Amino acid sequence: MNGLTIGRMAKKAGVTIDTVRFYERRGLIAEPPRSAANYRLYPEEDADRLRFIRHAKDLGFSLNEIKELLNLRHDPAATKADVKHCAEAKIKDIKQKIKDLSNILAALEPLTATCNGHGPVSECPILEALETDQNHHHHGGERHDEHHAQS
């Protein structure tokens, strides 16, 4: 029986063995058949699939989004427009994250400028501002937290 052991496949794809197992559990790659010696032997195509997953993760796609891309990749009815739609949705998501991070930075920089870094914590203007102004950005923070829970 031909195939790659988990170690060889992980090395070929540039991931760890734990990553291979994790992607198996998440359904991104199928559990391979076992050899007569009870070794799991992965087909060569799985190394390509793992590289695809790794590259998509590097571009910011979530595992669910990657699963969708993989499904499109193997769906004969799928079109380039379907894939482009996924990529455009990711661009929109990234732009929103940049906007959210810019807003956080704009709020945090002046806040840290209020503190000289000397004295007891009880007199820290940053902590005081967080305690007294915690609901000022509540809506934005809540939206941000919900977004990360979905990723």
The parts of the chain modelled with pLDDT lower than 70 are 1, 133-151
Fold of 6-73: Multidrug-efflux Transporter Regulator; Chain: A; Domain 2 (1.10.1660)
Quote the pLDDT of residue 120. Answer: 92
Ordered by start, the domain boundaries in the chain are: 6-73, 80-150
Quote the pLDDT of residue 24. Answer: 94
| 19, HSE (Cβ side, Cα atoms, 13 Å) | 18
12-44 pLDDT, tens digit each: 999 999 999 999 999 999 989 888 888 889 999
Q: At what angle do helices 44-58 and 63-73 cross, to 10 degrees?
A: 130
Residue 41 has a CB neighbour count (10 Å cut-off) of 18
The pTM of the full predicted model, rounded to 2 decimals, is 0.73
3-13 pLDDT, tens digit each: 899 999 999 99
